Amino acid sequence: MAPQQYRKPPQAPPKFTATPSSLIEDTKRLIARSRGVQDSVVEDVTFNSASFKNTVLAMATDDNKMAIESHIIGFYQAVSTDQALRDASTEAEKLLDDFGIESSMREDVYKVVDAAFKKGEKLDPESQRLLEKDHKSYIRNGLGVPAGPKRDRFKEIKKRLSDISIVFQKNLNEENGGLWFTPEELEGVPEDVVSGLEKGEGENQGKVKLSFKYPDLFPTLKYAKSAGVRKKLFISNENKCNQNIPLFREAVILRDEAARILGYPNHAAFRIEDKMAKTPKTVDDFLGDLRSRLAPGGLDEIKKLKELKEKDLADRGEEKAYDGHYYLWDHRYYDTLLLEQQYSLDQQKIAEYFPLQTTIRGMLHIFEELFGLVFVEITGEERDRIAETGKGSDIVWHADVQVFSVWDDEGEGNGFVGYLYLDLFPRPGKYGHAANFNLQPGYIDENGKRRYPATALVCNFSKPTPKKPSLLKHDEVVTLFHELGHGIHDLVSRTTYSRFHGTSTVRDFVEAPSQMLENWCWTTSQLRSLSKHYSYLSPEYRSAYESSSSDASKPSEHMPDDLIENIIKTRHVNDALFNLRQLHFGIFDMTVHEATNHADIEKLEISETYNRLRKEISKLDGPEALGESYTWGNGQATFGHLIGGYDAGYYGYLSSQVYSADMFYSVFKSNPMNGTEGRRYRHTVLERGGSQDEMQTLEDFLGRKPSTEAFYKELGLN
């Protein structure tokens, strides 16, 4: 039971009681209210009387209220087990998006906002930023184009792009394909993976179904000894959502057309203009420089991996199978084998020390110490007590979901912070990757009262079994810490307007806070504190471990120092290849959004470009090395980032590392658990959200302009 001072949050958690019909009704109600606010601004405000308060502030207040409901309305499509509810959520999001486009192109509203903008009132910095951003967004949404066919076409494109985005992600969420293999074909794949697979019937009798979900896909690519199985799985995964191929193509063509209507040379110029990079040239130069620095290291890494592959095949009596190539479907397997053989890094052994729930508690404890927070899990009757309806099941969307109330500790004032939700296991129809979703933003309402945020971590880790809890590989620990980092950013943000809350920053900064926190997963003291061997969690687990382990010695409770040392030593093993993979994504993204003219993008062979660039940048061979054309796969059709907001922005995953490395090395490297600096980071960086220029936020924290030195040093590229 929660301590007394944490048992009465001042705000109830959100409710998840929607039905398909209520989602649509609520959406129409929100739209009608918002349209009414905009109509009132136009009807009640003259150009002479226009001010920030009676135009932008009036609409921002409505935006705040809308976000409290609209984020959850759209969230159901990512997590609900009910197909009808997911479909209604998708339909509702389309209604909201269409209304958003209509609102952003209301010339009558823009004229009064423009009048308020030109008044030059003295405003607080966040309100001034809101006024400037809102004013500029009308121009960027087509109101700088004279009324007529071109503007109408722009609006038509915006609506179609919204539809494409929704359908594209829905196809990914609901993808449920897979391949049938015999257990013998899956030799090498961990038994706890194979035993959990769906068993075949009829023509698939004696086989198991391997899905394309992460808990099936990655262990198979890492451990299956059969290159044929890995190849089949890899290629099938690249083609698992081919209904998205025409949608991706249509999206990049329409984006280019829309940018040219607005007077930009291409979509990248339009998108990057209001980011930290400002111009595509800055991005291209950064990616090109990094590519040329990483390329020699990538070739060296491939040379060593080829030697390992040749030796491995020879040891298995399969010398003739070695053809001098290192394939895409080889990489996870031989990367894992290299770590095991040359660095004594047994990922299965490491996972025994990272039971999911213990690791989460350890991570939350780190955030408590660093940022002055307290996390209180809400279970059983406590859920009933704080639920608005009195029913605890109403505050979660699925029985597996955990919910925490989050508070400031005593030193930070014991105040309420918000709610954190964890939805950790795969299920049909669920979002298939790892991500943080804002459910309700924080802001200050029209009465000066703070509204508290709610945020959800949605992941897909392997499910617990009677013999073992869910166990995390070290890379999954890093992923969890990264996404929790977004969640913390979302929780501790304290902005006036929901527009700037939490992770609502420019895309080429938003990953930096989470990337910085990943460093805690590579620190000796933190790895030790996060770890606990699963056999210590219960007598049942102890018994199951002892009966399955060939090692007669009792495992230590926490991860031994030599294993921790081995993990840390391997941080940058095959790092060039990892970053060249990221460069492939970033350069492909820029290539399809930076056409010289519209005819070029219309005739661009997108699948061929995706696969050719991967070969040229990463140097790993695909089926093209076996005589097939570059159209063998359609990875872009599975690339949700480029349809879901990271278009002409994927480079941000790499450029954010410049800022994250600088912050960590400058402030935390010498003492990662320095609570004074942690709280300064919370208040200077995380709390600000997007309420001020992100470069200013960095300079405030670092005391200077950011530098690339730590980034290149970390990559061994001085």
Rg value, the chain, Cα: 26
- H or E stretch covering 455: strand 454-458
280-315 and 575-592 are packed helices; what angle lies between their axes, rounded to 10 degrees? 140
Catalytic residue set: 483
d(CA 334, CA 312): 9
Closest CA to 692 of 407, 477, 557, 497: 497
> Can you tell me whether residue 456 is helix, strand or coil?
strand
Rounded to 5°, angle at Cα 20 from 19 and 24: 110
Contacts of 289 (CB under 8 A, 6+ apart): none
Rounded to 5°, angle at Cα 320 from 315 and 325: 95
354 and 474 Cβ atoms separated by less than 8 Å: yes
In sign, the C-alpha dihedral spanning 215, 216, 217, 221 is positive
And the tokens for 192?
Answer: 């706890």
264 and 595 Cβ atoms separated by less than 8 Å: no
- Total residue length of the chain: 718
Q: Which residue has the tokens 């977004």?
A: 486
Tell me how crowded residue 705 is: count the other CB atoms within 10 A of its CB: 9
Residue 371 backbone zone (phi > 0: left; psi -120 to 50: alpha; other: beta) = alpha
d(CA 414, CA 642): 41
CA atoms within 13 A on the CB side of 522: 18
Phi, psi for residue 286 in degrees, rounded to 5: -65, -50
d(CA 433, CA 516): 21
Closest CA to 453 of 173, 90, 42, 67: 67
Phi, psi for residue 425 in degrees, rounded to 5: -115, 150
And the tokens for 391?
Answer: 């029913």
149-174 and 245-261 are packed helices; what angle lies between their axes, rounded to 10 degrees? 150
Q: Which residue has the tokens 């949608």?
A: 247
Residue 683 gets which letter from DSSP? I
C-alpha 455: how far from chain center: 13
And the tokens for 138?
Answer: 């009308």
And the tokens for 54?
Answer: 């009676």
d(CA 470, CA 383): 24
d(CA 510, CA 486): 8
> What string of DSSP letters covers 348-402?
HHHHTT-BHHHHHHHHHHHHHHHHTEEEEE--HHHHHHHSTTS-GGGG-SSTT-E
